[in-house]
Amino acid sequence: MTNRFISNFLLIFLFLFIIITDGISVNKGFIGSQQLYYGAAYYPEVWPESEIDKDIQLMKELNMNVMRIGEFAWSRMEPQEGKYDFSWLHRVIEKLHANGIDVILGTPTATPPIWLAEKHPEMFKLTENGQRLTHGARRNCSYTSKVYREYSRKICERMAQEFGNKPGVIGWQTDNEFGLSPDFSKETQKHWISWLKQRYKTIQNLNQLWCTDLWSQTYQKFEQIPMPVSYIWHHPSLRLAWTRFTNDMIVEYQDIQLQAIRKYSKLPITHDGMPGQAVDYEKLFKNLDFAAINNYHSFEAYDLIQSNYDRLRGQGLGFHWLFETAPNYSGGGNKGNIWYLHQLPGSMRAALWMNYASGAQGAMFWLWRQHRAGQEMPHGSVLSAWGAKTANFDELKQLGSELHKTSDFMMQHPVPKAKIGIMYSHDADNGLRIEEYANGIKYYNDWTYRFYRALADAYLFRDVLYPSANIDDYKMLFIPLLPNVSSELIDKLEKWVKAGGTLVLGPMTAYRNEEWAQHTDAFMGKIESWSGIRTESLIPIGTQRRPAEIPFLLQFQPDLMIPQSEAGLWSLSLVSSTGKSLATYNGGIHNGKNAIVENKVGNGKVLVLGTDPGKVALKKILLATAKNAGIEPMAEGDEQVVIVPRGNNAVAIVNISKNTRNLRLNSSVQKFQNILNDSVITSNRLELKPYQVLVLKAL
């Protein structure tokens, strides 16, 4: 055998090895098979096994190909300590797999069995009032409990041994909807003190950073620092540190599950997060393999929900998943309320298409069959408790058929990376829950409706980024409502702007340091030294002006062609010796002062919004700023349409409004095939019926 032959043989072998092993690797962009997935949360543990075959036939009728199983079934998996029974779960998975339906397994750690509760009642959370929670609900246990952590590790490890390589299982979900509900036990206190010591090193450093001389709050040792409670007006730095600590304990607890699963399984792992959460998903998803969320849509709030899919995509973990959404209506809670009604025909289908259009691989309803007893019985489902089809079963069937038809196309035409990024921060959310400054502010809603929607309704394609994201490949960044910008991010932004980036900063950004304290050198700290834009003074306005108050009106530079608007949230008076004023205040204590200023910095530009100018004005400012950065909008026309570019000049479009919408696509392509119905569109001017969906391939 010649050396060249041996070399070629080894190259071929290596190539084949990569192809074969890629099937079990994580982070390859999609999970399971290269197809779109559509399914539901399935709880076979509460139904006779004789029902499974009937369920499968109806799943196939809907073109469903994935089920999410196991997340609350610990007592069925381990009915007695150390005695496991997975036989029933094996049979369910095998039947589903034989019918072309894959499974995502949830770890059941949110609901420990009664034998464990009786043996270790100390693992349950202790409230700030000294009340110990007990068995009977979910997520009642303390994430810091050594006992709870160990038993969680054991059940996860045993599940991974059983199902880590089982045909039909394509992924894992940790626990269920982690919540930021703290524990006040002595065990948690020990973790808290240790966390403080690790972060601040010395008590003198903590005292200096928090300025504890104020109100005589100085500490002599870490052990004196309390776990903050709601009935005491605690120091804001202490309260924010406590939320960060609680988040870190959730991450530690999840990491125990990840290590246990990865010991025996190479399948990708995620968690089912919730929008608007205080849980810091920037931290929680760092060690996960793909991104997922639970969105309970209401047709009145599709414009709020849209940002979540851009956020999932911005995490850079490949195709994302929608793990829970109501197939028709949502309900439950301790009062059995009904929420999020899908009252309009076609609206639910449009909601799920918004998810797939934005870069999802899968979506699953909660739940497959309505609970026959227990909590959350009022919740909507695909089947009723008595086995009847839901009222909108035909709409679900249409959706399944469309997903089946477009699966190959959508998977082969992924969403490209955007040129614009807008930042979202759970840490900022937690800070603003402690200190509003602008009265009435609610981070998730205000961030979305005041700022995100200005970008989305201008049809400027964007990714939603966390502050730790790599920003190198973006041409424009928009950072509103981020009070506490880290030193690391400030340095990263300076380098990026000077290299040519366009930064839109504010409002309500960079006025707090990492400990939620004020800068003492300048209002926005170091940013003011390199941006060339300084703050003279601040007047808070709030989310709503009282009738007796004088409005702060905004007068824009004539070339922007923006009508006069009213300032919102707060008012900064800005100055710059080299910058250009884009808007000044007309009326109020800042009359005649600069409200919006832009300045060239190196090869780039910084634009500081000293106030919220309102959506109409902000849209025009962002469009003009993007144009100067070489970025064009995807379309022009009516608002509330989801437009997402896909590879090779393809585009997915979803009207998320109950009204007809008219658009003109900014595309050189004039002829498209709508692959949903194989029709041909010969114009870039579109009239979209309520909740209409288009998946367009360039011809």
Q: Is 577 helix (H, G, I), strand (E, B) or coil?
A: coil
Using DSSP bridges, classify how beta strands 604-609 and 502-505 pair: parallel, antiparallel or unpaired: parallel
Condensed to tens digits (0 to 9), the pLDDT of residues 412-462 reads 999 999 999 999 999 999 999 999 999 999 999 999 999 999 999 999 999
Every domain range in the chain assigned CATH 2.60.40.1180: 636-698
Residue 447 DSSP code: I
Active site residue 177: yes
Could you tell me if 48 and 85 are in contact, meaning their C-beta atoms sit under 8 angstroms apart? Answer: no
How many residues appear in the chain?
699
Rg of the chain, C-alpha, whole Å: 27
Q: From the centroid of its chain, how far is CA 381? A: 24
- 49 catalytic residue (yes or no): no
DSSP state of 178: -
CA atoms in the 13 A half-sphere facing the CB of 67? 27
Q: Which of 71, 187, 282, 324 is catalytic?
A: 324
Q: How far apart are CA 289 and CA 361, in angstroms?
A: 14
Rounded Cα gap, residues 336 and 66, in angstroms: 28
How far apart CA 538 and CA 464 sit, in angstroms, is 28
Rounded Cα distance between 476 and 500, Å, is: 9
CATH number of 636-698: 2.60.40.1180
pTM of the predicted model as reported, rounded to 2 decimal places: 0.94
Provide the token pair at 182. Answer: 């703290």
* pLDDT at position 670: 87
Element (H, E) at 608: strand 604-609
CATH 3.40.50.880 domain span(s) along the chain: 420-630
Regions of the chain with pLDDT less than 70:
1-28, 340-342
CATH 3.40.50.880 fits 420-630, yes or no: yes
| Interstrand relation of 360-365 and 337-339 (parallel, antiparallel or unpaired) | unpaired
Rounded to the nearest 10 degrees, the angle between the axes of helix 426-434 and helix 236-262 is 150
**CA–CA separation, 507 vs 137, rounded Å?**
41
Give, in order, the Cα–Cα distances in Å from 652 to each of 138, 208, 354, 415, 587.
Answer: 38, 53, 9, 10, 45
- Which residue among the candidates 51, 94, 177, 636 is catalytic per the annotation? 177
Structure confidence at residue 343 (pLDDT): 72
Element (H, E) at 60: helix 52-61
Task: Write down the residue that tokens 């759970």 correspond to.
Answer: 426
Q: Where are the alpha helices (DSSP H) in 181-235?
A: 186-200, 203-210
Pairing of strands 476-479, 502-505: parallel
Query: Nearest-CA neighbor of 535 among 568, 569, 576, 566?
Result: 576
